[in-house]
Structure 1
Amino acid sequence: MEQLLNKYAKLVVYTGVNIQPGQLLVINAPIECADFARRVAKFGFEAGCKDVKINWSDEKFAKIRYDGAAAEIFDEFPQWRYDMFMDFMDKGAAIVSIHASDPSIFKDVEKEKLRRAQLAAGQALLEYRKAIMNNVLRWCVVSVPTPAWATKVFSEAGDEQVAVDKLWQAIFSAVRIDKNNDPVKDWEQHIAFMKKATDFLNGEQLVSLHYTNRLGTDLTIKLPKGHIWAGGAEIAADKVTFVANMPTEEVYTLPERSGVDGVVYASKPLIYQGNVIDGIRLVFKEGKVVEYSASKGEAVLKQLLDTDEGAKYLGEVALVPYDSPISNSNILFYNTLFDENAACHLAFGKAYPTCIEGGEEMDSVELVKNGVNDSLIHEDFMIGTEDLQITGTRADGSTIKIFENGNFVEF
């Protein structure tokens, strides 16, 4: 186990954020993930970091605070936290975020408090978030088990430690780590395959995608002129490559903000602010959600869509083969980092400016003029199924099959 943990931590440092000598490494970590955060820090220094900062979080205390504090408290974002994030940005830090939440911890929290806290943080950290989404900073999101998360995923285990061990095994498999391999080399091969997919899609420069499946999805998504497909490795502003998500199986781009029409059904639950939203059905007209429902968590879905005007529009289109390692595990992770890499997905809210030519240099007004959505949120939801069909349309009106029976057509 020690060997696997160290391989994982080293992979995050050397391939995930691809730390450079003299750089600051920042680790955002739940206190329950302290052991792994310290391992990442150790390999950070080994790789030549100037310093490592760990930004601890505690969702159990957050739950206590949400339950006990007055609602107006959540309209405030502390100046010291703003200063901390801006200092990270100004120093060109590499950011590792460990995402390992209890999927249901905030299910009984007053929804208005969650909304106000999200708005306060989103508005305060606009500049920092822009640096992340524009790849000004190198960043990587990873996960490690916590007891609450593991027992949600493996509820049948009957024992907390057994559930944690099973989740560790699933995570190691998803991030391509075992006792006998060199994960850094395996990731180089994986990234090369994903580049082949993005090169193919960028070469086609499709004007739209049409999705259908037996759930009832019948959705057309227009793609803006100059859109860029990305996936696998990213290139930061300093020209250093990094991998933003581990695991990652997706290639993605942005949709035309006003170019989404039809109906789509989610194929997996969405975990949002410690709440489970399941059975999602959405109707789009000219890009905007005009009708929605959910069999579970509909009030939370409404809260998400009401965050701001941009939350009702899409900011990401991502393609993931149904026949992929995470999907084939048949595990519902209740964690977007994993579940989004098991199925094609879309995202409510803000688009990545890096997915349109020259987007990193555009201000918010220019981005909107070029059909790029903006919002305080970016929330993925899964739509991929084993029978999903996706047809692309080229500028000359000809069509090409992109997905058949849930997987890429050979390219």
Structure 2
Amino acid sequence: METFEHYLDKYAELAIRVGLNVQKDQTVVIMTPIACADFVRKLTKKAYDAGAKDVVIDWDDDEVKALRIKHAPESTLREYPMWRASGLEEMAKDGAAFLQIYAPNSDLLKDVDPERVAISSKTTATAREGFLKYLRSNQVNWLMVSFPTAEWSAKVFPDLSEAERIKKLWEQIFKLTRVDKDDPVAAWKKHIETLTEKQNLLNNKKYKQLHFKAPGTDLYIELAPKHQWVAAGSESERGIFFVPNIPTEEVFTMPARNGTNGTVRSTLPLSYQGSLINGFSLKFENGRVVEATAEVGQEVLNKMLDMDEGARYLGEVALVPYDSPISQSGLIYYNTLFDENASCHVALGNSYPFTIEDGTTMSPEELVQNGYNKSLIHVDFMIGSADMEIDGILADGSREPLFRKGNWA
């Protein structure tokens, strides 16, 4: 029987060799909570084994961040250490690879004034906009993976002891990232090929619109005129193939900014900036959210939508079958990296330039002309279910079934 350390080693190897695909003499930047320190050390060793010339750790601490948002003068929340933002941007400009460990605590800020959270979030997003542009346009190779913390595991398995729930969550991560396979790299190669087949099928169809229909959802999403579907792997500006999310089960593209109409209801909770938003519905008119209601987290939802003008428009639409491995686990992960790969989803906010033809070489004005939405945020939320039906609508108005009963038709 394989040991936990054996699987953890394979997980780190998968992240460095397949997800990030570290190149010889490349700098690797790991952005991580301090709770993940042991795993960071393992990743660092793997990165050097892969030929990295340096590994830079950008440590963070959720508890300290929460204390600052709760207690610091409000004027301080409007400030961000620009040396930190410019440092990340400088390393991106020099071709570094970026690995983020995402271990959310969706209850961290539930009792904090949402206005203070919104101020801090907007300040951070504004300061890091230049850096995030490198990631959102795939100018660098980057990766997001998750690590079970006590707080996150408590949301997923609230009835277990801390040791048991962390063990159980690790088992799920190893399974859903295919680390439990004899050869995870070969398993990922096959998985990427399967997703690429769906990507190619959709790109050949060139649908003008998608129509989503499910309980609480009747939504038309017009696709950007030059949209292109993307799945699993991407190629950086320097020609490095990488897989930015592990796990991933989605095929996604760019909606036309002003082309979404109708109503959509979320089907899984959204963990956003240390708070939970659940049971929410959005009404769109000409691309813009004009009504928003939530059973949990109404004020947080309102602040998110008011982040900037682009926050009320869609930047991404993604197709994920209901029978995906993450969905079939029967768990809610309270972690968008996992939950978005259990369900069809859309994202409010910024579009990805690489989801339209030649988007990464377009000027900002050209991007806007081609349906691009600009925003400080990019927030995925889940809308898929076993009842989801999706039609692809062609330029001549004819329809084709894409999803029935939550899965590919």
* TM-score of the pair, normalised by structure 2: 0.98
2:138 is aligned with 1:113: no
Q: Deviations over 1:9-55 (max 9, x none)?
A: 00000000100000001111110011111111100000000010111
Structure 1 residue 172 and structure 2 residue 174: aligned?
Answer: yes
Structure 1, unaligned runs of 5 or more:
none
- Taking the TM superposition and a 5 Å limit, the aligned residue runs for 1:300-315 are 300-315=300-315
Instruction: Tell me the equivalent position of 2:151.
Output: 148
Aligned length: 406
CA distance in 2, matches of 1:347, 1:68: 31
TM-align CA RMSD: 0.9
Report if aligned partners of 1:350, 1:377 keep a CA contact under 8 Å in 2.
yes
Q: Is the 8 A contact 2:25 2:52 kept in 1?
A: yes
> Following TM superposition, by how much is the alpha carbon of 1:244 offset from its aligned partner in structure 2, in angstroms?
0.5
Q: Is the 8 A contact 2:29 2:98 kept in 1?
A: yes
Alignment of 1:78-89 (within 5 A): 78-89=81-92
> Which AA in structure 2 matches 1:254?
M
Give the letter aligned to residue 155 of structure 1.
P
2: distance between equivalents of 1:372 and 1:349?
10
Q: How does 1:42-191 map to 2 (within 5 A)?
A: 42-157=45-160, 159-178=161-180, 181-191=182-192
Aligned twin of 1:195: 196
- Contact 2:104–2:271 (CA<8 Å) still a contact in 1? no
CA distance in structure 2 between the aligned counterparts of 1:90 and 1:314, rounded to whole angstroms: 28
| Paired letter, 2:250 | E
Partner of 1:206: 207
1:233 and 2:236 matched = no
Within 5 Å, which residues of 2 pair with 1:270-309?
Answer: 270-309=270-309
1:33 partner SS: helix
Distance 2:290 2:86 in 1: 39
Q: Is the 8 A contact 2:118 2:303 kept in 1?
A: yes
Local SS of the residue matching 1:256: strand
Letter in 1 for 2:167: D
Rounded to whole Å, the distance in 1 between the matches of 2:237 and 2:93 is: 14
Contact 2:69/2:120 (<8 A) preserved: no
Asked if structure 2 preserves the Cα contact closer than 8 Å seen for 1:281 and 1:292, the reply is: yes
The structure richer in strand per residue is: 2
Amino acid at match of 2:395: A
Q: Give the TM-score, by structure 1 length.
A: 0.97
Which residue of structure 2 lines up, in the alignment, with residue 353 of structure 1? 353
Distance 2:86 2:393 in 1: 47
Consecutive unaligned residues of structure 2, counting only runs of 5 or more, are none
Q: Which moved more, 1:130-139 or 1:119-128?
A: 119-128
Tell me, in whole angstroms, the C-alpha distance in 2 between the residues paired with 1:85 and 1:25.
Answer: 11
Q: CA deviation at 1:90?
A: 2.3
Which secondary structure state, in structure 1, belongs to the residue aligned with residue 123 of structure 2? helix
> Residue by residue, what CA displacement relative to the aligned partner does 1:362-395 show, whole Å, maximum 9, x if unpaired?
2322211211111000000000000100000111
Deviations 1:329-360 (A, max 9, x none): 01100000000000000000000010011111
After TM superposition, give the deviation of residue 110 of structure 1 in Å: 2.1
Residues 24, 93 of structure 1: 8 Å contact kept: yes
CA distance in 2, matches of 1:13, 1:373: 31
CA distance in 2, matches of 1:122, 1:61: 18
Q: Distance in 2 between matches of 1:162 and 1:352?
A: 39
Structure 1 letter corresponding to 2:187? D
CA contact (8 A) 1:364 1:374 kept: no
Deviation, structure 1 residue 83: 2.7
Alpha-carbon distance, 1:6 to partner = 0.3
Q: Cα deviation per residue 1:117-151 (whole Å; 9 max; x = unaligned)?
A: 22222222222111110100100000010001101
Aligned to 2:394: 394
* 2:226–2:370 CA contact under 8 A, matched in 1: no
Counterpart of 2:220?
220
Instruction: Give the Cα–Cα distance (whole angstroms) in 2 for the partners of residues 209 and 90 of structure 1.
Output: 37
Listed one character per residue, the Cα deviations across residues 156-215 of structure 1 (whole Å, up to 9, x for unaligned) are 11x10101001001111110111x5111111000000000000000000100000101x2
Q: Runs (4+) of structure 1 moved beyond 3 Å?
A: none
Q: 1:322 corresponds to which residue?
A: 322
Query: How far apart are 1:254 and its partner, in Å?
Result: 0.8
* 1:96-131 CA distance string (max 9 Å, x none): 100002111011122222212222222222221111
CA distance in 2, matches of 1:295, 1:90: 43
**Contact 2:97/2:140, CA 8 A, preserved across alignment:** yes
Identity, in percent, stands at 44
Structure 2 distance, partners of 1:311, 1:86, is 23
Q: Distance in 1 between matches of 2:86 and 2:282?
A: 39
Give the Cα separation in 2 of the matches to 1:308 and 1:245. 26
CA distance in 2, matches of 1:146, 1:226: 41
Residues 367-406 of structure 1: pairs in structure 2 closer than 5 A: 367-406=367-406
Q: How does 1:6-17 map to 2 (within 5 A)?
A: 6-17=9-20
